[in-house]
Chain A
């Protein structure tokens, strides 16, 4: 099976038409010593029916938890049915980058609308068409902020560990320095930040809410960063933007984030969606594809890939980034999600996440030995102490509940709008039971 439609006779006819006796004739440029000259050491192919069974058997080896109280960068939100069906339409699904505007208006317009929605939730002026995920978006943002004089990047230790390491890796690439600003009581240590800012600092990245779920004093941070002449890159959870101040209002120069909560399944880590938006001033520094509005030769409004002079296919080694393929279908998904939820729905989802997390925290901390580790305000994640941690988490799992994520400081819990009070009560009672033993 190889999805080749030509029949055996047609293949022979075609070989003859190109003057080849057999397939080997087509590979005459390949040096004989390099040829594989043996069958691939792999199993035989399978029919669709068999492959469906084989893959389903692998899927069945995973354990699914009907209740998920774990986030830490992958958030289990409710995905409306229409948000699943639209990106699955065959044309959206099987097209590529809209290089040919005349036959890609649907993709182009959907991206233009996505860019607008990202600008709306972040308060920014310009959004790109997506990058790979939230971590690489933070790394691209750091690169975007560096110039000849300011080469050092600062990042808060309260950021997602994968984000810190990704930014570190991108900095290693260009040979630039990354310095990590320490945490105090689960939030960025502002005194330390003040000391670390200076004339060589290009940007500071903090994530709101941070990895521990805590709300950072972002406006104060923006003030400090700008005073030092650096740029403020703010990571944002897009659902939280239903109720939290937009990055623009907080003083951010670049807003980035992980767009997965906007309708993408947790999917063992991907595909996710990196969003990136900035102010008009920094427009030409933004990496990645950007769709712009224009008119066609009849004066009708239409959309094209724009500002391409920033990109690798034109600028090559001087490009703002090497990104080519992005996460377009995930951007489409986010657009459909935001349109389906609307401003009220997004606010409701955010409020419910916050309310459920606080209810869970309140009930958990009634149990002896379970206490909040940090004192600040939080959104939908929080860290508690947890005696008999492994035992409790296993008991929860046995009850179909994926409990909080073990971190150095304790256990990082998360609740979204998807979990009901009843599920939360059940989780709490399992924890209680184990700890009462």
Chain B
């Protein structure tokens, strides 16, 4: 399809603004722009049609099953959008006087109350704009804590090799040396490896639990105890919180601070990659280190972005939290776990499970044996799913499982959808054994065939260029 620039017609435009009703002002020549940017020139109908055409080439949660592991692609309630669009929220200036922003602060207080209760934390900030931003904030809490105590020797953060890439990247951004420890064969923390890594230089541990293969680490209390004993703090990556709400809390597992992805667990839409929100909770002893906005709340604290964070995302999350309430919150988690186990057992017997045991809200298929046998890779299976209108699972993550496909169905999928999905997986499993060729070239009925990614990286074309006249 054409790019928007290729639909532009010189001189075409929409009338949005009235004529200027005050005297025009001239800029000094040294500041003034002489060349207009080559933005598209379009009528409103052209804009509307162009983006509708693009929107038709997007698979959202509302289009069908989206079992993208680690991303919690649950249904995004429509009421949440309506609430975020209320002028009483959307039209509030972040620097309006306090009496005029009481409602916004009530939203943040409500979010804090609910999320502290769910996570077992004492205080919280909503400034971070996503999960990774929350990790950055949380690990800076750990850094400030050691600094404030004058404990300068704590230069290392321990990260299991099953961790998401943002964990080691975050530790590095916070100036720590990353100590990668091998996971046990079941993806859980290898206690011996942990003990060997711990020492006087340990600033902390970053951990996802349930871990990135969807297993709740049974040694969790021992893990956090060992880290504390060594003088380190424990950071909880809340990407997988959807498994455990109302059942067990990071704060009760021994974690000192945590981020939650409001765009995962709390049903705010992913928007094609964002905006998210990464609320960061902490125990009392860390709260003096939480970030603040200078212009809203004064100097003296760290700060990870402007103002109070992605507030309208928090509005959506609060709408969701109020809706679920005391019983709905655990009900969501329990059914997320039930759905994952049900789907896992329904697929079992075809593709190998990476771990044949009760899973939490997600599970991993290991296609290495299958690939050896048939030549069909995890990528081939993922791409084949597209022809069935299903979004592929997360591929090749975590790194500790080769040929991994990670499925997270979430609680908002019905039994019918799960049965259908399992049937498709089984069918592909058979197909790979009998007629693998088409799978190597899948998808066959998608928007495009397989793209040349190597070519894209080798000869980067990262913007449209106006053709030479």
A5 CA / B86 CA spacing, docked (Å): 28
4 tightest A-B CB contacts, nearest first: A59-B88, A269-B307, A45-B325, A329-B271
- Which B residues are in CB contact (< 8 Å) with A344? 13, 36, 41
CB pair A44–B327 under 8 Å, yes or no, is yes
A314 CA / B457 CA spacing, docked (Å): 14
> 27 A-B residue contacts at CB 8 Å?
A1-B328, A4-B412, A14-B342, A28-B358, A30-B247, A40-B117, A42-B113, A51-B79, A52-B82, A80-B14, A92-B60, A92-B271, A102-B450, A105-B58, A110-B272, A112-B462, A115-B463, A121-B39, A126-B462, A173-B174, A241-B37, A294-B452, A294-B455, A296-B451, A324-B164, A339-B39, A351-B25
CB pair A271–B447 under 8 Å, yes or no, is no
Stretch in A128-136, A149-157, A177-185 touching the partner: A128-136
Known A48-B77, A59-B83, A91-B58; 19 more pairs at CB < 8 Å: A34-B220, A42-B117, A48-B323, A51-B83, A76-B93, A86-B52, A102-B451, A109-B57, A133-B306, A173-B140, A267-B311, A269-B293, A270-B308, A302-B447, A323-B130, A323-B133, A325-B131, A338-B40, A359-B22
A65 CA / B395 CA spacing, docked (Å): 49
- Which B residues are in CB contact (< 8 Å) with A168? 303
- Which B residues are in CB contact (< 8 Å) with A20? 338, 341, 358
B423 within 8 Å of A (CB atoms): no
Q: Contacts A40-B330, A161-B294, A162-B294; is A3 near B77 (CB within 8 Å)?
A: yes
A115 CA / B462 CA spacing, docked (Å): 7
CB pair B81–A18 under 8 Å, yes or no, is no
Q: Contacts A241-B37, A356-B22; is A327 near B274 (CB within 8 Å)?
A: yes
Contacts of B39-90 to chain A: CB distance below 8 A: 39-42, 44, 47-48, 50-63, 66, 68, 71, 73-77, 79, 81-83, 86-90
Q: Contacts A100-B391, A298-B449, A402-B93; is A343 near B165 (CB within 8 Å)?
A: no
A366 CA / B16 CA spacing, docked (Å): 32
Taking the closest CB of chain A, its distance from the CB of B104, in whole angstroms, is 5
A191 within 8 Å of B (CB atoms): no
Contacts of A291-334 to chain B: CB distance below 8 A: 291-298, 300, 302-304, 306-309, 311-319, 321-330, 332
Q: A292 touches which one: B14, B171, B327, B457 (CB < 8 A)?
A: B457
Q: B446 touches which one: A23, A103, A289 (CB < 8 A)?
A: A103
Quick one: closest B residue to A218, CB to CB? B31
- Which A residues are in CB contact (< 8 Å) with B66? 96
A326 CA / B248 CA spacing, docked (Å): 30
- Which A residues are in CB contact (< 8 Å) with B274? 130, 271, 325-330
- Which B residues are in CB contact (< 8 Å) with A60? 88, 103
Q: Contacts A327-B274, A327-B275; is A169 near B291 (CB within 8 Å)?
A: yes
A303 CA / B453 CA spacing, docked (Å): 9
- Which A residues are in CB contact (< 8 Å) with B148? none
Quick one: closest A residue to B387, CB to CB? A102
CB pair A2–B103 under 8 Å, yes or no, is no
A203 within 8 Å of B (CB atoms): no
Highest count of chain A CB atoms <10 Å: which of B295, B386, B450: B295
CB pair A169–B39 under 8 Å, yes or no, is no
Q: Contacts A101-B451, A102-B447; is A355 near B25 (CB within 8 Å)?
A: yes
CB pair B14–A106 under 8 Å, yes or no, is no
Q: A271 touches which one: B92, B129, B272 (CB < 8 A)?
A: B129
A107 CA / B30 CA spacing, docked (Å): 38
CB pair B246–A292 under 8 Å, yes or no, is no
CB pair B58–A106 under 8 Å, yes or no, is yes
- Which A residues are in CB contact (< 8 Å) with B149? none
Contacts of B100-123 to chain A: CB distance below 8 A: 100-104, 106-107, 110, 113-114, 117-118
CB pair B79–A317 under 8 Å, yes or no, is no
Taking the closest CB of chain A, its distance from the CB of B160, in whole angstroms, is 12
Q: Categorize the interface residue count of chain B.
A: 35 or more
- Which B residues are in CB contact (< 8 Å) with A253? none
Binary contact track A334-377/B, C-beta < 8 Å → 1, others 0:
01101111111111110110111011000000000000000001
CB pair A136–B453 under 8 Å, yes or no, is no
- Which B residues are in CB contact (< 8 Å) with A436? none
CB pair A91–B62 under 8 Å, yes or no, is yes
CB pair B464–A112 under 8 Å, yes or no, is yes
A98 within 8 Å of B (CB atoms): yes
Highest count of chain B CB atoms <10 Å: which of A11, A96, A166, A377: A96
A195 within 8 Å of B (CB atoms): no
A346 CA / B36 CA spacing, docked (Å): 10
- Which A residues are in CB contact (< 8 Å) with B332? 2-4
A127 within 8 Å of B (CB atoms): yes
Binary contact track B283-310/A, C-beta < 8 Å → 1, others 0:
0000000010111100100111111111
CB pair B88–A94 under 8 Å, yes or no, is no
Q: A135 touches which one: B107, B132, B305, B452 (CB < 8 A)?
A: B305
A163 within 8 Å of B (CB atoms): yes
CB pair B33–A243 under 8 Å, yes or no, is yes
- Which B residues are in CB contact (< 8 Å) with A31? 218, 220-221
Highest count of chain A CB atoms <10 Å: which of B39, B97, B221, B295: B39
A68 CA / B95 CA spacing, docked (Å): 11
Taking the closest CB of chain A, its distance from the CB of B380, in whole angstroms, is 13
B193 within 8 Å of A (CB atoms): no
- Which B residues are in CB contact (< 8 Å) with A434? none
- Which A residues are in CB contact (< 8 Å) with B346? 17
